[in-house]
Chain A
């Protein structure tokens, strides 16, 4: 068990800045997801923590020990790779035992640990098989078992579920959460899938353009994004942004006016599709519906507010037709205000009635 301190880590590839002074503290036993689109630097950061890449500057401290200059094997961690990297020329048993063998653990102890890890991941029946005979999901379990067998202080996972089909991914996600909670290992988990990050992590670090935009609990990241990017990246449908101007402390959209936050004149009003409700009598924000998609659990309405594109989630029983104009009521305390010039969120105004 150990905590991880990532201290102003940068990485350049020539002129390209993959990571720009990224700092992040992961507590002992905590599960942190690095979430972001491809190319945001999340995998590079994970590989730097593992020692598979060297940072251009900055430090990695694991359990109080500066490991910045150490090779991967000296860092005392385990990793699960995107393509599993289960050795094809070894049986499942030898794969799971690999880390223990390298530590010259006595045979009896190896057997005990392998069986414990195998039981945790339900792969006991396959221990004497070769990976080629296993399905993708089973190989994934072997990869996780191999990582857990060494009882690592830190577990790194690089998009471990992305090669599985949707159904299996859901099942493995649930199981991973249970297994990792039991193991209590400090975990850093890289993913581009927000549902994975939301479902698994204690905290999510949303990365964009080589920086961490926001690090917070899943609920906070969802409800109170600190940048326009985070709002747009997290949530399905993504947060709507409506360009508005603040005039003498007020923002007007159609017949509705809001108290403007302090600090900016050109603003993006961030509105989650789930936070808008059909007013029924046409009052509130005017929303021109262009397309109605019944999703079963809800209706997805695509249209525009004041000529700006927006997606709204309505109850499945609502009767809305394409081409209609409906009114939306919103709770001002659930709005996000972004300063257009910086892309960063402004503090919500305290008193926010119409």
Chain B
């Protein structure tokens, strides 16, 4: 910490924080860092500590006897690997649907003014006021009839409802950020609308679209309620863990929790540049 405070901390505005307050500031920041990271660290210790680690008493906060064995054991339990795969499939379809459906709608909102635009925006925003996952309840019956019940694909449909409004709003702002003149220039110089979109808009929108996709992935990956309602055997990882929570030993629970956390952490890292742009817009 001393080495950090030794370097002058300069606000973007160029005003430096005086010494005593700087100490206070960094104490606060370190406290929050610990607050965020420690639970993840502890669940990781639990995941890799095995059965013995879980019941060691009193515990040391330093790692000891860590091994991948208990994690591998967990993955070999009947159903875990399948659940993991189902989670990936559901998240994959969610990404696919929310981008393929959301991006065109976002583009329409960004580039055109048309009758019904406000109504459509309202429909998208309305979803925000509803606890969407709860809507999985009545879908059980229709999903059974359509053969979608107990499939990762069916889960992905309701997850898309969660992710789609988000994708629409984010891509809208994304396309608004790409000057219309780029497209117009492309049209004037011989492109059809579609060519102009592919050659000029897409390359510029790609990083933002990737961020949108990642957010959709995380939304699906983390969803518990709808996934638990709509699956019995073909459970996603969250649904599986919820189901076996009460009967499985602690170190398996921690292993499951750890696996759930890892992709999220990586994804948030990957999209960190977009986080604020995206949420600033999507929260309007």
Contact = CB atoms under 8 A, between A and B. Distances in A.
Interface of A: 50-52, 71-73, 77-79, 81-83, 85, 87-89, 98-99, 102-103, 146, 150, 156
A76 to B, nearest CB: 9
B191 interface: yes
A81 B187 CA distance: 13
A97 to B, nearest CB: 10
B189 interface: yes
Contacts of B271: none
Given A83-B179, A85-B179, A71 B185 contact: no
Contacts of A85: 179, 181-182, 184-185
B204 interface: yes
B186 interface: yes
Contacts of B182: 85, 87
Given A88-B204, A89-B204, A98 B186 contact: yes
B254 to A, nearest CB: 45
Contact of A146 (B189, B195, B200, B204): B189
Given A81-B181, A85-B182, A150 B189 contact: yes
Nearest to B206: A89
A50 B188 contact: yes
Given A88-B204, A89-B203, A89-B204, A73 B189 contact: yes
Contact of A83 (B181, B189, B191): B181
A73 B187 contact: yes
Give the most central of A71, A77, A156: most B CB within 10 Å: A71
A87 B188 contact: no
Interface string B179-219: 10110111111111001000010011000000000000000
A72 B200 CA distance: 16
Contacts of B188: 50-52, 72-73, 77-79, 156
A89 B185 CA distance: 14
Nearest to B183: A85
B189 A98 contact: yes
A78 B188 CA distance: 6
Nearest to A80: B185
Contacts of A51: 187-188
Given A83-B179, A85-B179, A73 B185 contact: no
B203 A52 contact: no
A185 to B, nearest CB: 14
A102 B195 CA distance: 9
Nearest to A82: B181
Contact of A73 (B179, B191, B200, B204): B191
B206 to A, nearest CB: 9
Contact of B200 (A71, A77, A78, A87): A87
Contact of B190 (A52, A73, A88, A156): A73
A99 B184 contact: no
B189 A102 contact: yes
Contacts of A146: 185, 189
